[in-house]
Amino acid sequence: MDVFVADVCDRWNYTLVTSARRPEKDGDDGRYTWDLEFLRPNGQRHRCEVRMFGVPRDYGVGDNPLAFPEPRLYVDGQSWVWDFAVSSAAAGSDQELEYLPSMRRRR
């Protein structure tokens, strides 16, 4: 979780305020649940729930070419691979700002 939080803070210029384990929400699939609260650059706070594996999982083993090479994380109930999970952990208005410049360049 430390690496995930560091990636979120680095990408969004957030500061972690609190990180609380929620063992009552852990799944039978090996994922552990945390409630995270961040301080955004504008001074507002943002909360999200993240479920991630507690140990590395090797998804590259096997014959399934459609298997993802990394485990999926859940951010606020939605399933993502790592990079998209880091993006989705941000406040909605910050996510919109990330995509606006790239959309403008396409036009």
> What sign does the dihedral 20-71-75-17 (CA atoms) show?
positive
C-alpha–C-alpha distance, residues 51 and 84, integer Å: 14
Cβ–Cβ < 8 Å for 22, 50 = no
Q: Number of folded domains in the chain?
A: 1
C-alpha–C-alpha distance, residues 2 and 54, integer Å: 12
φ/ψ of 17, rounded to 5, equals: -100, -50
Amino acid at 103: M
- pLDDT per residue rounded down to tens, the chain (107 residues): 998 999 999 999 999 999 999 999 998 888 899 999 999 999 999 999 999 987 655 554 555 555 556 678 999 999 998 888 998 998 777 776 654 444 333 33
* Residue 25 DSSP code: G
The verdict on pTM exceeding 0.85 is no
Domain of residue 19 covers 2-106
